[in-house]
Amino acid sequence: MKDITIRKFADKSAKIGIVGLGYVGLPLMLRYVEVGYQVLGFDIDQSKVDKLNKGESYIEHIPADKIAAASTKLFEATTDFSRIGEVEAVILCVPTPLNKYREPDMSFVIDTTDAVKPYLRAGQVLSLESTTYPGTTEEELLPRVEEGGLKVGENVFLVYSPEREDPGNPDFETRTIPKVIGGHTPACLEVGKALYQPAIDKVVPVSSTKAAELTKLLENIHRAVNIGLVNEMKIVADKMDIDIHEVIAAAATKPFGFVAYYPGPGLGGHCIPIDPFYLTWKAREYGVNTRFIELAGEVNSHMPDYVVGKTAHALNLRRKAINGSRVLVLGIAYKKNVDDMRESPSVEVMELLREFGAEVAYSDPHVPVFPKMREHSFDLKSEPFTAENIASFDCVVLTTDHDKFDYDLLKQHAKLIVDTRGKFQGKDENIVKA
C-alpha cells in the first residue's frame, strides 16, 4: 500500500486535498497546482468556497489572477467533506487559537478530523499542519484515524508537518521555505516525504511527529522570547533617554553572536503571540514550569498598555487629556504591508484608548473596513491619509509601519506622533518614541 501511494505522488496521478483555505491552505494549493497536481480544497465557509470557484481572492497578498488560473485548470473548492475519498492526501490547515484562559483551543483540529474520518480510506495520508503542542498527532488524530478499522503505518499514513508562512515577505514563498516533517511510523514518514518533495525545494525529516510539533514551537518561542527581551530593553532605554533602534543598529554590525530583533506595540499574528502558550500548557502535564517563556509573554502582552501610557503622558504634556482627544491609529494589521489582522496589538491599543475616553479612528491602506473579529468590535472605516485629515487629530499613534504611508507628510502635518516602530530617527518636538 505504501509503495502504491508513493508512486501516485511521484507520477502526479494523486489528487491533493487541503482542508482550510486561508493564509496557509491557499498558498499550498497554488504551489501544488503550479507543479501539476489536481487539488480539491475543503472549507466550511460557503462564501469563501464560492469566491474561490469564481476565481476571486479574499487575501490581499494572494492575487485573484492566480486563483482564477488555478480554478480553471486543476483546483476546485467545496464544503462537501464526503468527497475526502477522492484524494490521496488530506492536509489539515485549520486554526489553533487559545481560549480565554490562554489554554489551547483544539476544537478546530478535532472537529475537522471528526468531519474527515468517516470518509478516510486505505492508501491515504493525513497531514496536520496546524501549530500545536507535542503529542497532538498521536493523542488526537491517531485514534480517530484508526476508529474505522484502518491501521496507521500499514494501509493509511499519518504525519505532522508544521506550516511555515510569512505573509508579505517577498523573499520567501511556499516552495523555498524548508518543510519539516515527522511521521508516526517510518512508513508514514516515507509517504509524507513523497507528498511534499514534489512541491517544496527542501524537506527536513525528523524522528517523530512529536519532534516536528516541538520544532514549530521552538521556532516561534525563539522569536517571542527575543522580542520580549528587546521590548523590555526599549522601556529601559527610554527611561535613559536612549534610542533603542540606534542601539540595535549598532549591535547588528557585530558579524557573529547577535541577531537583530525589533520592539513594537506588542505581538501579533497567528503564531508568535499564541504558540508559546501551547508549550507552557503541555509542560505543566510533565511538572515543568516554563518561567522564561511565560515572562516573555508577560512583557509582550504589556506593550499595548505601555504605548497608551506614553500616549496619555505625551498628550498631558501638551495640556490635553486623553479623554476626549481625537486619536488616529496608523496601521492596524499585525505586520507591515499585509491585511492580516490576527492577534494584532494595534487593536488592543485602540481598545485601551477607547476605554480611556479617546475618540479613536484608524488609517490602514490594507484594511479599508474594520473586519468582524471574535473578540474585538469597531464600526470604523479607514480614514483618508491626507495632510488635512492628519492635522485634524490631536495625536497619531503609529503601530504598523506600512510602506504605503507617506512619513514625510505625516511628520509635517501631525500635531503629535507616538512612534512605536522606530520609524523616525532623531528628536523632534512632535514625535514621541514608544
The pLDDT value recorded for residue 182 is: 98
pLDDT on residue 102? 78
177 and 52 share one domain: yes
pTM here is 0.92
Domain match, 22 and 148 both: yes
Does residue 76 fall inside a structural domain?
yes
Domain that holds residue 165: 2-207
Residue type, 240: M
The answer to whether residues 59 and 171 belong to one domain is: yes
8 with 118, same domain: the answer is yes
Domain final residue pick, 168, 187, 207 = 207
The residue type at 404:
K
> Cα–Cα distance between 86 and 362 in angstroms, integer?
46
Question: Is residue 40 located within the same domain as residue 116?
Answer: yes
Q: At what angle do helices 209-239 and 291-317 cross, to 10 degrees?
A: 30
pLDDT tens digits, 184-214: 999 999 999 999 999 999 999 999 999 999 9
| Angle subtended at Cα 79 by Cα 29 and Cα 182, rounded to the nearest 5 degrees | 45
Matching residue, cell 475616553: 357
Below-50 pLDDT ranges, the chain: none
- Establish if 249 belongs to a structural domain: no
User: How much is the pLDDT for 374?
Assistant: 74
Among the listed residues 227, 295, 309, 294, the one whose alpha carbon sits nearest the alpha carbon of residue 266: 227
Last residue of a domain, one of 189, 207, 225: 207
CA 17 – CA 126 distance, rounded (Å): 9
pLDDT digits (tens, 9 = 90+) for 297-348: 999 999 999 999 999 999 999 999 999 999 999 999 999 999 999 889 999 9
The answer as to whether 115 is a domain residue is yes
CB atoms within 10 A of CB 185: 18
Predicted local confidence at residue 98, as pLDDT: 83
Residues 16 and 155 in one domain: yes
Residue 415 lies in a domain: yes
Q: Say if 22 falls within a structural domain.
A: yes
Q: Kindly state whether residues 41 and 183 are assigned to the same domain.
A: yes
Do 41 and 169 reside in the same domain of the chain?
Answer: yes
Q: How far, in Å, CA of 287 to CA of 266, rounded?
A: 29
Please state the domain count of the chain: 2
pLDDT value at position 231? 97
Q: In what order do the strands lie in the sheet with 203-206?
A: 75-78, 38-42, 15-19, 89-92, 125-128, 157-160, 179-183, 203-206
Among the candidates 170, 191, 207, a domain finishes at: 207
CA Rg, the chain, in Å? 24
Would residue 271 show up in a list of annotated catalytic residues for this protein? yes
Measured on CA atoms in the order 168, 172, 174, 177, is the torsion positive or negative? negative
245: in domain: no
Residue of 93, 188, 271, 395 marked active site: 271
Whether residue 18 is found in the same domain as residue 152: yes
CATH number at residue 164: 3.40.50.720
- Give the model's pLDDT for residue 276: 86
Q: Establish if 306 belongs to a structural domain.
A: yes
Q: For residues 16 and 89, state if they share a domain.
A: yes
Q: Give residue 123's region: left, alpha or beta (phi > 0; psi -120 to 50).
A: left
Does 32 lie in the same domain as 120?
yes
Q: Classify residue 114: in a domain, yes or no.
A: yes
Tell me, yes or no, whether 185 and 326 share the same domain: no
